[in-house]
């Protein structure tokens, strides 16, 4: 008999990305505009929803600072910073796995695991191979595995078709919107309150390390 399934967003939930994806946004905008973006401004956009794609957010911030850059050019430069270029290591190598208590190892005995992330599928796999080979991920759905990105619930609906999905864990408004649209109970990885009130998460926790306390 299959186990109930927990579905995780990745960035900010399983992986600390301030020095990888967020820093790649900052480096890309600095490259094109000469302006340094504060992390607080990036978080402001993330909190509004609709900015799950870091390429699009990088392009928007360039526009805010007066530079209109072709999307394909932004993607190329962003990926050079994030994945590495000409022998320079990518910022992806700065990522840190958030679970420091082996909570996921314990929970994986009781629950099936899946991921629905705004990352590309292979970028998610790179990080899972580095940090989480010991865990059993039944499915990893990246942004390139769906037709419609979050907050569209397409990825969650795909998982629900084959599995008993009981919770989606995320840290952004787009995660909450997707969960609500799919009618899946949502666990918010954040400080209590904030921008999630309208989506009525079933639980608030400040880190995945506390997940056992609410399951």
Model pTM score: 0.91
**142 closest CA partner among 133, 129, 155, 131:** 155
Q: Is the pLDDT of residue 11 over 60?
A: yes
Other CB atoms within 10 A of residue 176 CB: 26
| Beta-carbon-side half-sphere exposure of residue 5 (alpha carbons within 13 Å) | 25
pLDDT digit string, tens, across residues 98-107: 999 999 999 9
- Give Cα separations from 5 to 53, 64, 128, 161 (angstroms): 26, 41, 18, 12
Q: What per-residue confidence (pLDDT) applies to 43?
A: 86
pLDDT digit string, tens, across residues 73-86: 999 999 999 999 99
| Burial per residue of 98-111, b for 16 or more beta-carbon CB atoms within 10 angstroms, e otherwise | bbeeebbeebbeeb
* 192 band by pLDDT with thresholds 50, 70 and 90: low
Cβ 177 vs Cβ 151: under 8 Å: yes
Cβ 204 vs Cβ 198: under 8 Å: no
């Amino acid at each position: 008999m299959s186990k109930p399934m927990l579905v995780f967003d990745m960035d900010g939930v399983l992986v600390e990305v301030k020095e990888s994806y967020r820093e790649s946004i900052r480096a890309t905008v600095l490259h094109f505009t000469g302006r340094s973006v504060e992390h607080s401004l990036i978080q402001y956009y993330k909190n509004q929803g609709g900015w799950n794609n870091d390429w699009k957010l990088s392009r928007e911030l360039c526009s805010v600072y007066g530079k209109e850059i072709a999307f394909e050019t932004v993607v190329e430069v962003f990926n050079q910073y994030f994945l590495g270029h000409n022998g320079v290591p990518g910022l992806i190598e700065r990522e840190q796995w958030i679970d420091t208590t082996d909570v996921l190892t314990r929970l994986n005995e009781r629950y099936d695991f899946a991921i629905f992330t705004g990352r590309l599928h292979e970028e998610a796999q790179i990080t899972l191979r580095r940090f989480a080979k010991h865990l059993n991920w039944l499915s990893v759905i990246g942004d390139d595995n769906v037709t419609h990105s979050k907050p569209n619930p397409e990825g969650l609906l795909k998982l629900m078709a084959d599995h008993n999905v009981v919770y989606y864990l995320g840290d952004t408004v787009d995660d909450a919107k997707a969960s609500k649209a799919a009618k899946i109970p949502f666990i918010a990885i954040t400080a209590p309150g904030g921008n999630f009130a309208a989506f009525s998460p079933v639980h608030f926790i400040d880190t995945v390390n506390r997940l056992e306390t609410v399951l």
